[in-house]
């Protein structure tokens, strides 16, 4: 998009000082206190970013970690666009000062689960020498049912404690009900259906599963109820537009296990878009993909989500990026979308990824139905 | 003056219609459609929707059959437009800032083939174009017609 058009799309900037301090830019908006939020709300329109502070009872030193997910790498012989963006995210994380304590890779490293793609991803991420944790996405799994993934990145779920926070990584992808055996699908066909977001064949594949729920309950059982828990999952842990499998089918059971814990933050990938929600005491943050942006579904975007801007389809660096998460000394986590182009949040209806669709009514596809 | 011209056309066609009805002359549109006929029309349409759906989802066999190359990035339309979301067929024609011109749906289909997909654009009246258009409209049926909206 050339300059005059970009200007048409952008809105007069907000004075960072008035907005509650340093570090607030329109490109990478840091979520700050509710007090600052009120000031911002008054200074702008209702569509301006909702301020959402993630309070975490951690009183000592500040630390940061980085999130990269949804790189969806194809073999380099097909296309290098997604490779370039994955490399850019890695270089950005490398350049973080002070360095983050660790990186969480949130799944969908590969596009079609091809070992070549997964190995390419492993090689790109090798350039980061810091500690790395991995959770799988459905695109990493359904060609060889996780064989290559586990060989390269180990098993999930896992948990570790870091500076007063219990971190947990879930596997929300591997327990999809068998839709392939009866139809005698090849592994590539199975993967193809999984990779089609608006397809109907793979069914409600995302789930935590009874065994992993039990593991979660046990893992939390020796953790004080008022201490912070940060839960990583590929898919969001609430009901978000099931026709596109933007959810985890047994999310209610997950909430049941989490209910006693008062400071749970879920950070997830898979939705490739700015997303925020609160379910019970759990706060949920959806991170960007590095590869491409999913549009918002026609219904079900959480009311607490401040939508991101409409994306320029002519610029493949628009609407995508990675994430910085900071546990501050003031006992809260700030999260920052590191989007490579434009502003993150929409500030007018017409530029919003949801607000421009008031006339839209959609029907599910049918060509993949029997 | 322009308005007057449109008015004249409307009056003409309305009276023509009444004339035909009144005269009771047998013609293609005069005879009542049989359920079989209606079904056949519907089938023709849905066949195109289906082809469009497959093209939109990057189906290699359908692309081969129609001789199209809609993408060179590995990405299909549906990866950015699941259920044909955000294709906004009910907003056309409209000024399109990406191409800086007053555009039709077909212009924008071709634009997305050319830009994000790096594929080969379609003839405006080609079979593949009509099928894609059929699928996009069908997926968005019931949406409020609102031409010109950005
Ligand atoms: Fe993804
Ligand atoms: Fe995913």
DSSP string, A142-164: TTTTTHHHHHHH--S-EEEEETT
Confidence of residue B29 (pLDDT cuts 50, 70, 90): low
Q: Tell me what pLDDT residue B97 has.
A: 85
Residue B20 pLDDT exceeds 50? no
**Is A280 inside a domain boundary?**
yes
- Contact across the interface for A111 and B74, Cβ inside 8 Å: yes
- Contact across the interface for B83 and A363, Cβ inside 8 Å: yes
- Report the relative pairing of strands A282-286 and A321-327 from DSSP bridges: unpaired
- Contact across the interface for A365 and B86, Cβ inside 8 Å: no
Find the A348 Cα to ligand 2 centroid distance in Å.
29
**Is A8 inside a domain boundary?**
no
Q: Tell me what pLDDT residue B13 has.
A: 42
Domain with A315, as residue range(s), is 16-355
Report the domain count for chain A. 1
- Of B80, B66, B77, the residue nearest B130 (C-alpha): B66
Helix (H, G, I), strand (E, B) or coil at A308: strand
Q: Tell me what pLDDT residue B109 has.
A: 98
Kindly state the tokens that stand for A84: 């370039």
Give contacts of B150 with chain A, Cβ < 8 Å: 350, 356
Q: Tell me what pLDDT residue A333 has.
A: 80
Query: Which run of H or E residues covers position B29?
Result: none
Which residue's structure tokens are 């949130």? Answer: A106
Task: Give residues whose Cβ lies within 5 Å of ion ligand 1.
Answer: A 70, 108
Instruction: Among B51, B73, B86, pick the best mutation site for testing chain A contact (most A Cβ within 10 A).
Output: B86
**Is B46 inside a domain boundary?**
yes
| C-beta of residue A305 within 8 angstroms of C-beta of residue A277 | yes
Please list the ranges in chain A whose pLDDT falls under 70: 1-60, 330-331
Nearest residue, CB atoms, A365 vs list B75, B83, B91: B83
**Is A88 inside a domain boundary?**
yes
The per-residue pLDDT for range B70-99, each reduced to its tens digit, is 999 999 999 999 999 999 999 999 999 888
Q: List, in sequence order, the alpha helices (H) in A44-146.
A: 81-94, 115-126, 138-141
User: CATH number of the domain that B106 lies in?
Assistant: 1.10.760.10
Query: Which run of H or E residues covers position A333?
Result: strand A332-339
The chain A residue lying nearest B98, using CA atoms, is A1
Q: Tell me what pLDDT residue A51 has.
A: 36
Q: How far is CA A337 from the centre of its chain?
A: 10
Question: How far, in Å, CA of A370 to CA of B14, rounded?
Answer: 45
> In whole numbers, what is the pLDDT of chain B averaged over residues?
85
User: CATH number of the domain that A201 lies in?
Assistant: 3.60.21.10
**β-sheet bridge partners, residue A230:** A167, A265
Q: Tell me what pLDDT residue A334 has.
A: 85
**Is B106 inside a domain boundary?**
yes
Instruction: Among B61, B77, B82, pick the best mutation site for testing chain A contact (most A Cβ within 10 A).
Output: B82
Q: Tell me what pLDDT residue A19 has.
A: 34
Give Cα separations from A362 to A9, A246, A358, B143 (angstroms): 26, 17, 12, 8
CA distance B106 to chain A (A): 16
Q: Tell me what pLDDT residue B59 has.
A: 95
Q: Does ipTM top 0.85?
A: no
Give Cα separations from B74 to A69, A112, A258, A309, A313 (angstroms): 19, 11, 40, 25, 15
pTM, 2 dp:
0.85
Report the domain count for chain B. 1
Give Cα separations from A184 to A179, A187, A189, A345, A370 (angstroms): 9, 9, 9, 45, 15
Helix (H, G, I), strand (E, B) or coil at A343: coil
| C-beta of residue A343 within 8 angstroms of C-beta of residue A353 | no
Question: How far, in Å, CA of A295 to CA of A307, rounded?
Answer: 10
Q: Tell me what pLDDT residue A330 has.
A: 63
């Amino acid at each position: 998009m050339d300059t005059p058009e970009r200007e048409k799309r952008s809105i007069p900037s907000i004075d960072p000082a008035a907005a509650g301090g340093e570090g607030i830019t329109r490109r990478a908006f840091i979520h700050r206190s509710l007090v600052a939020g009120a000031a911002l709300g008054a200074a702008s329109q209702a569509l301006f970013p909702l301020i959402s502070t993630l309070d975490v009872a951690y009183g000592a030193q500040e630390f940061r970690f980085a999130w990269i997910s949804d790189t969806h790498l194809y073999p380099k012989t097909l296309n290098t666009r997604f490779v370039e963006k994955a490399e850019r995210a890695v270089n950005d994380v490398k350049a973080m000062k002070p360095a983050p304590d660790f990186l969480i890779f949130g799944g969908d490293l590969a596009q079609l689960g091809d070992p070549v793609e997964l190995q390419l991803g492993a090689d790109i991420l090798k350039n980061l020498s810091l500690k790395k944790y991995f959770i799988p996405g459905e695109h990493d799994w359904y060609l060889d049912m996780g064989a290559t993934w586990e060989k390269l990145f180990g098993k999930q779920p896992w948990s570790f404690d870091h500076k007063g926070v219990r971190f947990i990584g879930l596997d929300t992808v591997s327990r999809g009900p068998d839709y392939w055996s009866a139809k005698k699908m090849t592994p590539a066909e199975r993967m193809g259906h999984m990779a089609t977001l608006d397809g109907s064949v793979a069914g409600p594949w995302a789930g935590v599963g009874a065994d992993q729920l039990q593991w979660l309950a046990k893992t939390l059982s020796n953790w004080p109820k008022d201490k912070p828990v940060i839960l990583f999952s590929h898919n969001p842990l609430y009901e978000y537009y099931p026709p596109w499998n933007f959810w985890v089918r047994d999310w209610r059971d997950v909430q049941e296990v989490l209910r006693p814990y008062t400071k749970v933050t879920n950070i997830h990938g898979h939705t490739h878009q700015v997303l925020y929600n609160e379910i019970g005491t759990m706060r949920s943050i959806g991170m960007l993909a590095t590869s491409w942006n999913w549009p918002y579904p026609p219904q079900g975007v959480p009311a607490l989500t401040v939508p991101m801007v409409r994306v320029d389809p002519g610029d493949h660096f628009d609407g995508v990026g990675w994430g910085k998460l900071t546990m501050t000394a003031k006992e809260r986590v700030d999260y920052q979308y590191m989007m490579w182009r434009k502003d993150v949040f929409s500030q007018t209806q017409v530029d919003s990824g949801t607000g421009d669709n008031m006339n839209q009514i959609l029907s599910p596809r049918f060509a993949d139905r029997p | 003056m322009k308005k007057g011209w449109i008015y004249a056309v409307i009056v003409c066609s309305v009276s023509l219609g009444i004339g035909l009805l009144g005269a009771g002359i047998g013609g293609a549109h005069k005879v009542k459609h049989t359920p079989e006929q209606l079904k056949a029309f519907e089938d023709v349409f849905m066949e195109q929707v289906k082809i469009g759906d497959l093209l939109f989802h990057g189906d290699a066999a359908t692309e081969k059959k129609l001789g199209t190359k809609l993408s060179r990035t590995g990405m299909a339309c549906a990866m950015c437009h699941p259920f044909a979301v955000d294709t906004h067929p009910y907003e056309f024609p409209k000024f399109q800032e990406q191409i800086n011109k007053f555009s039709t749906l077909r212009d924008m289909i071709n634009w997305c083939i050319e830009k994000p997909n790096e594929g080969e654009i379609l003839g405006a009246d080609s079979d593949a174009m009509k099928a894609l258009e059929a699928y996009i409209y069908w997926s968005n049926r019931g949406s409020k017609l609102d031409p010109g909206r950005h």
